[in-house]
């Protein structure tokens, strides 16, 4: 699957993701600072952790990028001494995989709000699965669990969908995305004038 | 005749751009030639090097069409930005990366690394040295060392000294000369004085990317002098002629003191990174800040702009300055790296950005005039990042002329510029200074110091060690040359 | 973390192996449901953290501060809102039970042990050696490994860039307005230039790497040969015996009356 990625694609993906990794290193303490509020307000900002995959995919638009991005971001976060330790790596792998699978289901052909939001939700599902085993979230009282999941879903759509799309749209305007996209047939045609 | 690299009938166009950058361009270079590509800024020299090496289209996807492209069997490329050509954190690891690519056995690596570093004159106590701790000149020599590790037939150099000081420049070119004997060199460079003696062929481009002249340097400079001058390309003694043509450079005499500095220090972290004992500056003065790479020049003007923490007395028109907000737009700053400064998506918006609230037709006209003046008119709707290096820098300096500040701080505004644009820029600055603006400008260019500056601050080891006025500059000339060459 | 460190035997353990064992330990730690095992296990890991990372104690304690935050905040929501039958305290929506208390504390320890394992690994492993080891032992493709190393080299450069972009925006008048709205605008203005600069830089580096004949498909030699040594055995034995010890202590000297914290 990822055999087809070129060095430029990989390096760009990883650099963006490590950038996000730095952000996550700051996001972690923020998350834990919000967490003691209790009623899962923290879950609203959880979606940030799924964002790398969609942002990278929206920029590079190739198979394998979402997975690589999520793994790279979590490795970056891990290597910077994350409070979550190796846990981030596992979450990264699962979340990346879930996002990737969803994008694959759309054949990597769509780059719109709906698809990336759903990809984000898929990551979210992956993270919940791990939470279930690791964080015993099944043992929360039911109303509390619903709140937990709902908040995380909402946050996910905000970050991986709305925010990611708006960031990448602004990036498109700067033209930097042309670097990693293939040139179109039309461009070649004008060469023949 | 045996060619080592050649292109036949190349058409090339950047995606989403209107015109072709190259139209039916053909070029061929023989083994062992030392070729210099000259041309006005933005004519496509950097792009051409990337095509000749096959980096376009293999690594960079740019639409092109040609009858044939012959890429040399082995080649190396020194890029202009010292910070974006390394992938490893340490000197030895970086060269080892190349050796690994060539599948050199591990046991031989350390010896080879040491030998390569000696060849480029990079003496380090320990080859396991952090790349980040090297100066710009040292970084470019490291880049040369890793290129030499490839043992290439052809070496491509794209303004390798664009971001380094005179010392560093001399070191890099000396190194290039010392290794050039059996190699083909293809060089892009604006400032030609230091390399012209090893060049045996010059190819001159016009600004629409066609070849205007091709031949030995003496031939080209004697037969195409007028055209070269018209296109604003540097040639030997361009400065001398410019000064002769221009009437004496005059300045208004002002006497009102605008800037007071006393025991002024700028900090990076807890330690003072720049110290200036005492200075008063009158309006209309033009101060050139010089010194080696890493001496603290940028630190000085960053401190004056209050982007670093400062202590000591700092007054503008008698009002003490303690933080950025005290400056109240009395000062404007042009950064060393122009890309940082761009906030908008179009060249024209970039000029009117700071004054967007009230873009009167007057301002609009001024902005348009500036664009025409700097040859950016037909780029006005392009994204600033898509300009060539020289164009970017011109744009970032141009923003300053719509600001009308009391003090204008510029960090190396003339680097990577062709002669036409260098002179235009200096003339505009001069006009500003006639209006009374104080100009404080980091530069390595002795010609600018001699002919335009009214005062020089020399920075060394984080201190302003000399403060000469105009008449003293002449007197100290001998010493200054000594220090730069 | 710039202070010079004393290298211990843990620094010499093969990085890929270290990572692998850590991964196994992670899975293992997730399957511990007994607080009585969790506590001694955490202790054995913290011994590595305190004695083998080679950091001065001041640094170690600084590192620990956020870890305790993690400990408390992880415990708290389970303690306050977890399921359970033996009520200890009830007030409004808060319902603390004996079961949820133990489970919360257990979760806190779990988070703590993950954090300690992670930081111990990071403090005793050089990234460059890690990626060489991953290429040599786990056959990670070089194009990924070198991309990671290049990205890590870029981290300090990115911080520099971040500062410069902010300064430039200040100079261009982006920061002159006051109020919450303009503050938001400032935050919004940052990620785009930062991202686009990073992408450009990454792209340039990738091109430079290819200009240096990097080719992921070819065999390559390695400047660093990362192999195995007796330290690897030492490490494995330490881990195995600490797991054994934890279970033994739990059965012989249980601290708490609960066995399984799950509901
Ligand atoms: N990615 C891009 N997209 C669109 N246009 C581009 C791109 N890169 C360069 N250009 C345009 O192509 C032209 C040639 O650029 P190039 O960098 O080759 O110039 P140059 O001759 O090296 O100039 P300089 O001396 O200033 O470095 C410029 O006008 C520039 O605006
Ligand atoms: N962001 C920074 N943080 C800490 N130290 C720095 C930083 N930037 C520069 N320095 C150090 O401060 C000193 C002065 O650097 P400065 O950038 O002012 O030099 P310069 O004279 O402008 O050099 P150049 O000709 O390369 O632009 C150098 O020793 C440099 O290593
Ligand atoms: Mg160029
Ligand atoms: Mg500087």
pLDDT digits (tens, 9 = 90+) for C84-115: 777 777 777 777 888 888 888 988 998 899 89
Asked if ipTM goes beyond 0.85, one says yes
Q: Which of B197-206, B255-264, C175-184, C206-215 has the lowest mean pLDDT?
A: C175-184
Of chain C, the end-to-end C-alpha distance in Å amounts to 42
Tell me the C-alpha distance between B77 and B152, whole Å.
9
Q: Answer whether A184 touches B (CB < 8 Å).
A: yes
Tell me the C-alpha distance between B331 and B333, whole Å.
7
Tell me the C-alpha distance between C145 and C129, whole Å.
11
Chain A residues touching residue C41 (CB < 8 angstroms):
none
Q: Answer whether B46 touches A (CB < 8 Å).
A: no
Closest CA to C41 of C23, C26, C20, C56: C26
Return the ligand number nearest the Cα of B464: 2
CB-closest option in C156, C168, C209 to B87: C209
Closest CA to B327 of B255, B405, B404, B211: B405
Nearest CA to ligand 1 atom 25: B41
pLDDT bracket for residue A54 (50, 70, 90) = very high
| CA B444 to ligand 2: nearest atom | 25
CB contact under 8 A, A86 and C209: no
CB contact under 8 A, A14 and C203: no
What residues does the ion ligand 3 have nearby, CB within 5 Å? B 46, 389
| CA B387 to ligand 1: nearest atom | 31
A143-179 tens-digit pLDDT: 888 888 999 999 999 999 999 999 999 888 888 888 8
A window 161-180, beta carbon within 8 A of B: 173-176, 178-179
pLDDT at B476: 59
Subunit partners of chain C (3 or more CB pairs within 8 A): A, B
C-beta of B422 in contact with ligand 1 (< 6 A):
no
Tell me the C-alpha distance between B210 and B48, whole Å.
11
Domains of chain C, residue spans: 9-130+228-252, 142-211
To 5 degrees, how large is the angle CA B265–CA B269–CA B270? 70
Tell me the C-alpha distance between B287 and C176, whole Å.
28
CB contact under 8 A, C173 and B329: yes
B41-95 tens-digit pLDDT: 888 999 999 999 999 888 888 888 889 899 998 899 998 887 888 999 999 999 9
In 10 A of CB B435, how many CB atoms? Answer: 11
Closest CA to A83 of A21, A33, A43, A28: A28
CB contact under 8 A, B103 and C206: no
CB contact under 8 A, B341 and C172: yes
CB contact under 8 A, B77 and C208: yes
C-beta of B14 in contact with ligand 1 (< 6 A):
yes
Q: List Cα–Cα distances, A115 to A178, B17, B475, in angstroms.
A: 22, 31, 71
Residue to mutate, B14, B158, B375, B422, ligand 1, most ligand atoms under 8 Å from C-beta? B14
C-beta of B298 in contact with ligand 2 (< 6 A):
yes
Closest CA to A101 of A126, A83, A71: A126
**Please, are residues B428 and B414 in contact by the beta-carbon 8 Å criterion?**
no
Q: Give bridge partners of residue B441 from the DSSP assignment.
A: B288, B410
pLDDT at B100: 95
Tell me the C-alpha distance between A6 and B383, whole Å.
26
Residue of C151, C192, C212, C217 for testing the chain B interface, max B β-carbons within 10 Å: C212
Mean pLDDT of A89-106: 94
Return the ligand number nearest the Cα of B294: 2
Q: How would you write the pLDDT of chain B (485 residues) with one tens digit per residue?
A: 578 999 999 999 887 777 788 988 999 999 999 999 998 888 899 999 999 999 988 888 888 888 989 999 889 999 888 788 899 999 999 999 999 999 999 999 999 999 999 888 888 889 999 998 887 778 888 999 999 999 999 999 998 887 777 777 888 888 888 888 889 999 998 878 888 888 999 999 998 889 999 999 999 999 998 889 888 888 888 888 888 887 666 666 777 888 999 999 999 888 899 999 999 999 889 999 998 878 889 899 999 999 999 999 999 988 899 888 888 788 999 988 888 888 888 898 888 876 555 667 788 888 899 899 888 888 888 888 888 888 998 999 998 888 888 899 999 888 888 888 899 899 989 988 888 899 999 988 888 888 888 899 999 989 999 888 876 766 655 554 443 32
C-beta of B47 in contact with ligand 1 (< 6 A):
yes
In 10 A of CB C136, how many CB atoms? Answer: 18
CB contact under 8 A, B103 and C220: yes
**Please, are residues A96 and A123 in contact by the beta-carbon 8 Å criterion?**
yes
Tell me the C-alpha distance between C37 and C218, whole Å.
48
| CA B136 to ligand 2: nearest atom | 26
CB contact under 8 A, B101 and C214: yes
B window 105-164, beta carbon within 8 A of C: 105-106, 109, 131-132, 146-147, 150
pLDDT at B191: 79
Q: Where are the alpha helices (DSSP H) in B309-459?
A: 324-327, 347-352, 361-373, 389-398, 419-434, 446-451
Query: Distance of alpha carbon A27 from its chain centroid, rounded?
Result: 14
CB contact under 8 A, C115 and A83: yes
Chain C residues touching residue A22 (CB < 8 angstroms):
155, 158
Tell me the C-alpha distance between A184 and A189, whole Å.
9
B window 41-60, beta carbon within 8 A of C: 53, 55, 58-60
Which chain B residue is nearest to residue C151, measuring alpha carbons? B87
Nearest CA to ligand 2 atom 19: B294
A77-95 tens-digit pLDDT: 999 888 888 889 999 999 9
Q: Taking the model in full, what pTM does it have?
A: 0.89
| CA B16 to ligand 1: nearest atom | 4
**Please, are residues C114 and A85 in contact by the beta-carbon 8 Å criterion?**
yes
C-beta of B341 in contact with ligand 1 (< 6 A):
no
Q: Is B346 exposed, middle or buried (0-12, 13-18, 19+ CB in 10 A)?
A: middle
Subunit partners of chain A (3 or more CB pairs within 8 A): B, C
Q: Where are the alpha helices (DSSP H) in B124-216?
A: 136-148, 166-179
Mean pLDDT of C185-196: 82
């Amino acid at each position: 699957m990822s055999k087809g990625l070129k060095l430029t694609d990989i390096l760009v993906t990883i650099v963006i993701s490590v950038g996000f990794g730095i952000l996550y290193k700051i996001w972690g303490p923020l998350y834990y600072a919000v967490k003691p509020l209790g009623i899962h307000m923290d879950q609203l900002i959880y979606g940030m952790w799924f964002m790398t995959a969609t942002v990278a995919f929206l920029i590079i638009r190739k198979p394998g990028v979402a997975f690589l991005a999520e793994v790279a971001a979590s490795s970056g976060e891990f290597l910077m001494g994350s409070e979550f330790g190796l846990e981030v790596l596992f979450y990264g792998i699962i979340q990346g995989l879930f996002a990737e699978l969803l994008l694959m289901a759309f054949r990597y052909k769509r780059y719109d709000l709906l698809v990336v939001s759903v990809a984000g939700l898929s990551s979210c599902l992956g993270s919940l699965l791990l939470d279930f085993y690791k964080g015993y979230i099944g043992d929360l009282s039911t109303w509390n669990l619903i709140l937990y999941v709902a908040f995380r879903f909402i946050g996910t759509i905000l970050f991986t969908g709305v925010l990611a799309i708006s960031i990448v749209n602004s990036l498109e305007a700067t033209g930097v995305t042309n670097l990693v996209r293939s040139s179109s047939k039309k461009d070649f045609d004008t060469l023949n004038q | 005749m045996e060619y080592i690299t050649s292109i036949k009938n190349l058409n090339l166009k950047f995606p989403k751009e209107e015109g072709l950058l190259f139209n039916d361009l053909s070029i061929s270079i023989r083994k062992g030639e030392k070729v210099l590509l000259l041309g006005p800024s933005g004519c496509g020299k950097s792009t051409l090097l990337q095509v000749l090496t096959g980096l376009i289209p293999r690594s960079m996807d740019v639409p092109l069409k040609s009858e044939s492209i012959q890429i040399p069997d082995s080649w190396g490329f020194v890029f202009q930005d010292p910070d974006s050509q390394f992938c490893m954190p340490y000197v030895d690891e970086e060269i080892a990366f190349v050796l690994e690519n060539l599948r050199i056995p591990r046991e031989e690596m350390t010896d080879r690394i040491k030998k390569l570093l000696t060849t480029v004159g990079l003496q380090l106590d320990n080859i396991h040295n952090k790349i980040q701790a090297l100066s710009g000149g040292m970084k470019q020599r490291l880049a040369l060392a890793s290129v030499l590790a490839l043992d290439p037939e052809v070496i491509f150099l794209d303004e390798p000294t664009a971001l380094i000081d005179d010392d560093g420049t001399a070191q890099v070119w000396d190194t290039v000369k010392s290794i050039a004997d059996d190699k083909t060199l293809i060089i892009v460079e604006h400032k030609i004085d230091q390399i012209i003696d090893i060049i045996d062929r010059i190819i001159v481009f016009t600004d629409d990317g066609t070849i205007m002249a091709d031949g030995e340097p003496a031939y080209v400079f004697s037969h195409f002098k007028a055209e070269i001058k018209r296109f604003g390309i540097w040639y030997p003694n361009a400065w001398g002629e410019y000064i002769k043509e221009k009437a004496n450079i005059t300045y208004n005499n002002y006497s009102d003191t605008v800037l007071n500095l006393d025991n002024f220090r700028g900090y990076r972290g807890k330690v003072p990174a720049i110290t200036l004992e005492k200075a008063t500056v009158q309006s209309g003065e033009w101060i050139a800040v010089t010194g080696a790479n890493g001496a603290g020049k940028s630190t000085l003007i960053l401190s004056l702009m209050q982007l670093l923490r400062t202590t000591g007395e700092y007054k503008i028109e008698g009002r003490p300055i303690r933080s950025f907000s005290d400056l109240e737009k009395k000062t404007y700053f042009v950064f060393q790296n122009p890309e940082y400064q761009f906030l908008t998506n179009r060249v024209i918006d970039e000029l009117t950005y700071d004054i967007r609230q009230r873009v009167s037709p007057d301002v609009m006209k001024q902005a348009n005039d500036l664009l025409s003046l700097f040859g950016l008119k037909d780029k006005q709707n392009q994204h600033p990042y898509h300009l060539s290096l020289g164009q970017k820098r011109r744009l970032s300096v141009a923003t300053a002329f719509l600001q009308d500040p009391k003090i204008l701080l510029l960090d190396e505004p003339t680097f990577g510029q062709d002669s036409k644009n260098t002179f235009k820029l200096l003339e505009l600055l001069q006009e500003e200074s006639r209006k009374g603006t104080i100009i404080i400008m980091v530069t390595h260019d002795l010609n600018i110091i001699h002919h335009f500056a009214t005062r020089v601050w020399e920075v060394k080891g984080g201190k302003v060690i000399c403060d000469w006025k105009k008449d003293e500059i002449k007197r100290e000339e001998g010493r200054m040359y000594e220090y730069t060459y | 973390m710039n202070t010079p460190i004393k290298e211990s035997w843990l620094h010499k353990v093969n990085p890929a192996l270290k990572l692998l064992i850590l991964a196994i330990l992670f899975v293992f730690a997730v399957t511990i449901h007994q607080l009585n095992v969790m506590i001694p296990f955490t202790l054995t890991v913290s011994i590595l953290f305190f004695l083998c990372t080679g950091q001065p104690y001041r640094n170690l304690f600084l590192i620990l501060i956020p870890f305790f935050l993690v400990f408390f905040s992880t415990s708290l929501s389970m303690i306050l809102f977890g399921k359970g039958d033996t009520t200890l305290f009830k007030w409004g929506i808060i319902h603390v039970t004996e079961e949820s208390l133990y489970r919360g504390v257990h979760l806190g320890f779990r988070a703590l042990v993950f954090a300690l394992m992670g930081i111990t690994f990071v403090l005793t492993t050089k990234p460059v050696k890690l990626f060489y080891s991953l290429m040599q032992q786990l056959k990670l493709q070089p194009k990924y490994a070198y991309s990671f190393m290049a990205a890590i080299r870029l981290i300090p450069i990115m911080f520099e860039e971040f500062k410069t972009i902010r300064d430039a925006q200040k100079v261009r008048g982006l920061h002159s307005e006051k109020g919450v709205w303009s503050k938001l605008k400032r935050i919004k203005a940052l990620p785009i230039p930062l991202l686009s600069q990073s992408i450009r830089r990454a792209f340039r580096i990738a091109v430079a790497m290819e200009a240096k004949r990097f080719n992921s498909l070819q065999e390559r030699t390695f400047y660093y040969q990362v192999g195995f040594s007796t330290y690897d055995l030492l490490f494995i034995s330490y881990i195995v015996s600490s797991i054994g010890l934890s279970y033994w202590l739990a059965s012989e000297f249980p601290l708490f009356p609960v066995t399984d914290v799950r509901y």
